[in-house]
Amino acid sequence: MCGRFAITLPNDAMAQLFAAQPSNALPAVPGFNVCPTNQVHVVRTSETGRKLLPMRWGFLPQWYKAENGGPLLINARAETLAEKPAFRAACRERRCLLVATGFYEWTKSAQDTRLPWYIHRRDSAPIAFAGVWQDWGTAESRQATCAIVTTQANAHMSKIHHRMPLILEPDDWALWLGERGKGAARLMKPGAENVLDYFRVDPAVNSNRAHGPELIEPFEDDQSAPQEG
């Protein structure tokens, strides 16, 4: 799964990387502790090309009467994406990319303490999470919302968690966004083993109020190696 992430890439660099027209209302960067319900950077396609837009991280199905009208849907399982009523239409018609520099996951110590890990690409490139989006609300309350698609973890990532975000390579962005016809379903599988790496970070990130570049710096202690299983 993915419940927190970081984004340090400037907005103009994101727009250039994804060949997208940026919105004037993008979230401020850097963000070292992006949390659910925050506004996040999302790339989607339109009739006039790709757009880089802000969206609420937390997908709101149309039948929700309020933002808290049901479970907080920050992730969507790839295995059931095309079947779940909340995501079925978005899977066909409203796929997107969420931009990140890295993301956090947690393990537990023998004393049941939460141990945070920062996960990033080995090549230091930005991460493109596969996502789905949905407009929700009416009139002034109308907003775009999104969720990150997840898959079963590959062997490397399973040392940290049994799920992982679906991370797409540049050659696959157009297919996921629907710009290259049909066939996006074939992308919904665990990523290659050699793409991601991880290291322990300061437990300060356990608080959703923590911010600052120190959150993504390595933190060494006697529990800095993940345990198998």
- What SS3 string covers the chain? CCCCEEECCCHHHHHHHCCCEECCCCCCCCEEEECCCCEEEEEEEECCEEEEEEEEECECCCCCCCCCCCCCECEEEHHHCCCCCCCHHHHHHCEEEEEECEEEEEEECCCCCEEEEEEEECCCCCEEEEEEEEEECCHHHCEEEEEEEEEECCCCHHHCCCEEECECCHHHHHHHCCCCCCCHHHHCCCCCCCCEEEEECCHHHHCCCCCCHHHHCCCCCCCCCCCCC
* 105 tagged catalytic: yes
Q: Which residues contact 207 (CB under 8 A, 6 or more apart)?
A: none
Q: Which of 2, 91, 96, 146 is catalytic?
A: 2
- Which residue in the list 91, 96, 105, 146 is annotated as catalytic? 105
* Residue 179 is among the residues annotated as catalytic for this protein: no
Q: Known catalytic residues? A: 2, 105
